[in-house]
Amino acid sequence: MKYRRHRRYLWMAYGVLGAGLGLLVLAGWLAVQLTVTQRQAPTPQAILVLEGQTSRVRFAAQFSGQHPSLPLWVSGNPEGQALNETIFRQAAVPKGLVHYDGCATDTVTNFTCTVSDLTARRIHHVYVITSDYHMGRARAIAAIVFGSRGIVVTPVALAAPDRAPESPLRTVRDCLRSLVWLATGKTGASLNPG
C-alpha cells in the first residue's frame, strides 16, 4: 500500500517536472523567435488598438496621424465600428488603412483574432495601443500569441491615472488561455467572465 502511494506521488512529480520543462522550452523558443524577429523587423509595420474604450480609439487616430503609412487594426466589439469610423474620419485617417477584426470579446481574443491577418500580410512588428493599467496583461498575451507567429510588439500605453494596474491573477489566467490556444486553437472566451 505504501509503495503504491509513493509510486503515485513519483508519477505526479514527473508530471509536474515534465510540464515545467515543457514551459521552459516554450519560453526559450518564444524568446529566440522574438529576438530574431526584432532584428529582422526593428520598426513597427502596423498599429493594433485594443478597443475596450473610446479614448483608446481616439488616441489611436492621433497616433496614426504620426505614422500615416502604417495600417491600423481595431480589435474589439463590432457594435462600436460606426463610432470608430467617425473618429478616424474626423482625424483624417484614410479609410483604406483601417481594418476591423470584429470577433474579439476580450484581451486574449484581441490577439488571436488578428494574428492570422497580420501574418498573412507579413507583418512582424506591431505597435500595440491600450491603457497603461492593461498593458502588462496585453504584453504577456502578445508574447505568447504573437510571439508564436514571429510578431514583436512595441507597447504604446495610454495613461489612465484613475485605474490601478490589473491583478497578476488575470495575467496568469489569460497566459494559460493563450497556451491553450497555442495547443488547440481555442481560447475559452465563452468561459471568460470578463
Q: What mean pLDDT is predicted for residues 2-13?
A: 65
Evaluate if residue 12 carries a pLDDT over 70.
Answer: no
pTM of the model: 0.80
Residue 58 lies in a domain: yes
> 166 Cβ partners below 8 Å, 6+ apart?
133, 134, 136, 137
Provide the CATH number for the domain around residue 155: 3.40.50.620
Residue 54 lies in a domain: yes
Residue 159 lies in a domain: yes
Residue 168 lies in a domain: yes
Q: Let me know: does 129 contact 49? Beta carbons within 8 Å.
A: yes
Residue 18 lies in a domain: no
Residues 76-102 as b or e (16 or more Cβ within 10 Å = b): beeebeeebeebbeeeebeeebbbbbe
Q: Let me know: does 98 contact 72? Beta carbons within 8 Å.
A: yes
Residue 61 lies in a domain: yes
Residue 19 lies in a domain: no
Residues 158-180 as b or e (16 or more Cβ within 10 Å = b): bebeeeeebeeeebeebbebbbe
Domain containing residue 88:
41-189
Residue 25 lies in a domain: no
Local structure of 80: helix, strand or coil: helix
Domain count for the chain: 1
**Which tens digit of pLDDT belongs to each residue from 22-70?**
666 656 666 666 666 666 767 999 999 998 788 999 999 999 999 999 9
Mean pLDDT, the chain, whole residue set: 84
Q: Which of 56, 112, 114 is nearest to 88 (CA)?
A: 56
**Which tens digit of pLDDT belongs to each residue from 99-124?**
998 888 899 999 999 999 999 999 99
